Structure 1
């Protein structure tokens, strides 16, 4: 029996909750995964999984073994990476999760630059705004914006971008320019669906809160930006998203003495004693580039 292969099949079956899901990920069949786990159980002399028609769960012994199996698999991967790192450049697949807007507007270009620099590295950029579980979904690195970070993950702050009130020049010509925050109540305020109607603003003389109702809300940052550029109204947007458009004159910053709450980006990964060289290489590219946006 290939113990490492059997342990890998067992770990993924538990993480995914299904032998068939583990088989699909590993590129094999459900009976093959079942046989690998059964052989592992025979060798250990303990039942590792509770099987049902819908999902599998670790037994008490299986839960204890799971932590050890993960460590062994990580140690093996690190050992291979250690040897390889001394004789060749980073290689292999890195799975990176990020919010859709940041990925489409910034990270996509950066990852192509990484691939050009590191020809043996592969990158799978997964763009979605929901929070993903890096263990369950086998994610190496996550760039997350806002939200509460689980305490069992390793997080490093990458950047904190101020938010500006912006509008298209056509909107300003048609609707005028607000002179003070309270004037925004008379404008078409656009916001991200799910965000609070109460906005906290910071200026030279302190901070204030303002309630801004919105007739239009959308759960896509890119769609919101498109609406603003099209002259539909005023929005509070992070600097990384609008700085270039402001320089080009395609957007106008309103109330420049006021900024909204900073948008904070973190680089997140599951705890490991040491990240593989391929993951470290992508991490270094993110740490170098993201704070400059």
Structure 2
């Protein structure tokens, strides 16, 4: 029996939920996968999978064996990568996830640049504002903007970007410029739909919360920024989002001595002893490029 092939058939069947899914992933047939898994069960002397009309499920022995089998395959892949690194360029498929706005504003251009540097790599960029579990969804590298960090992943800190209040020049010309936080109560304040009514600011006199109420709320950060650019009101935006717009005068800073809660940016990836070369070059590339985004409040921490 080809033990390595049998382990691949078993692990893919579990993680893809069917023998047919494993067959597609391994570029073979369902009967072949079934024979490989059955042979593995015979060699171990235990049943690993229950096969029913509803699908596959792991036996108690299968549950214990699955995680170790997956790690064995990862270790084998790492060993092969290590041997080949000296004679090959980084190659293969990478899957990366990131928030929608960061992807649209910055990562899409970075991805195109990265592919130009590494012609043997394929890159799939998954833009989604929900939490994407890298282990469950086969994501190699995940860029996280704010939020809790999973304890079972490596989190590489890239930098800290404060939030600042901004508005368009036309809005300020028409409505005037706030001079103190409480002046925001007389203005149109735009916010993300999931946010709180009040806005928390840190200033020279310490923190202050202004109980602003928003007539317009939207659940997409790009749409929110477009509304600010169109003169609809004042909004709190991360500096990685608006630094270039402030520099070219399309937006102006409001209450320049006050900032909102900062955003921490991290790269997340699995804690494997030997990451494939393609993953390592992507992590290093993104760490360098993202840390250079404008508006960071302090240097990148390794």
Question: What TM-score, normalized by structure 2, do the two folds share?
Answer: 0.91
Alignment partner, residue 299 of structure 2: none
Q: Summarize the Cα distance change of 1:47–1:260 in structure 2 as closer, same or farther, 3 Å threshold.
A: same
Deviation at 1:24, TM superposition (A): 4.7
The alpha-carbon deviation at position 29 of structure 1 amounts to 5.0
Structure 2 CA distance for aligned equivalents of residues 70 and 240 of structure 1: 38
- Partners in 1 of 2:228 and 2:34 — Cα distance? 54
In terms of mean alpha carbon deviation, does 75-84 or 9-18 score higher?
9-18
Q: In 1, are the aligned partners of 2:185 and 2:210 still within 8 Å (CA)?
A: no
Q: Using the TM superposition, give the Cα deviation of residue 185 of structure 1 relative to its aligned residue in structure 2, in angstroms.
A: 1.5
- Structure 2's unaligned 5+ residue stretches are 294-302
Worse-matched range after superposition: 212-221 or 96-105: 212-221
User: Deviation per CA, 1:215-243, whole angstroms, max 9, x where unpaired?
Assistant: 21111111111111111111100001100
**Which residue is equivalent to 2:144?**
144
List per-residue Cα deviations over 1:170-214 (Å, max 9, x = no partner).
111222111111111221111112122233211122211222221
Aligned equivalent of 1:162: 162
- Give the direction of change, closer, same or farther, for the CA distance of 1:203–1:50 in structure 2 (3 Å limit): same
8 Å Cα contact 1:141/1:269 also seen in 2:
yes
Match of 1:283 in 2: 283
* RMSD between aligned residues: 1.8
* Distance in structure 2 (CA, Å) of the matches to 1:37 and 1:216: 56
Aligned partners of 1:30, 1:280: CA distance in 2, in Å? Answer: 34
Q: 1:216 to 1:207 in 2, by over 3 A?
A: same
Q: Secondary structure at the match of 2:114?
A: helix
Mapping 1:101-140, distance limit 5 Å: 101-140=101-140
Per-residue CA deviations over 1:62-84 (Å, capped at 9, x if unaligned) read: 11111221121111111111111
The answer (yes or no) to whether the contact 2:95–2:139 under 8 Å persists in 1 is yes
1:71 equivalent in structure 2: 71
Deviation at 1:57, TM superposition (A): 2.6
Q: What secondary structure sits across from 1:242 in the alignment?
A: helix
State the distance in 1 between where 2:148 and 2:126 align.
20
Partners of 2:231 and 2:100 lie apart in 1 by 23
User: Are the structure 2 counterparts of residues 174 and 21 from structure 1 closer, same or farther at C-alpha, using a change threshold of 3 Å?
Assistant: farther
Distance 1:204 1:214 in 2: 25
Paired with 2:29 and 2:132, the residues of 1 have a C-alpha distance of 26
Mark the runs of 5 or more structure 1 residues left unpaired by the alignment: none
Shift of 1:28: 4.9
The aligned counterpart of 1:6 is: 6
State how far apart, in whole Å, the 1-side matches of 2:126 and 2:154 are: 19
Classify 1:268/1:7 alpha carbon distance in 2 versus 1 (closer, same or farther; 3 Å): same
Aligned to 1:243: 243
CA distance in 2, matches of 1:91, 1:74: 16
What does residue 211 of structure 2 align with? 211
Deviation digits for residues 27-48 of structure 1, max 9, x if unmatched? 5555444333223222222111
Aligned residue pairs total 293
* Aligned-partner SS, 2:115: helix
**TM value normalised by structure 1:** 0.93
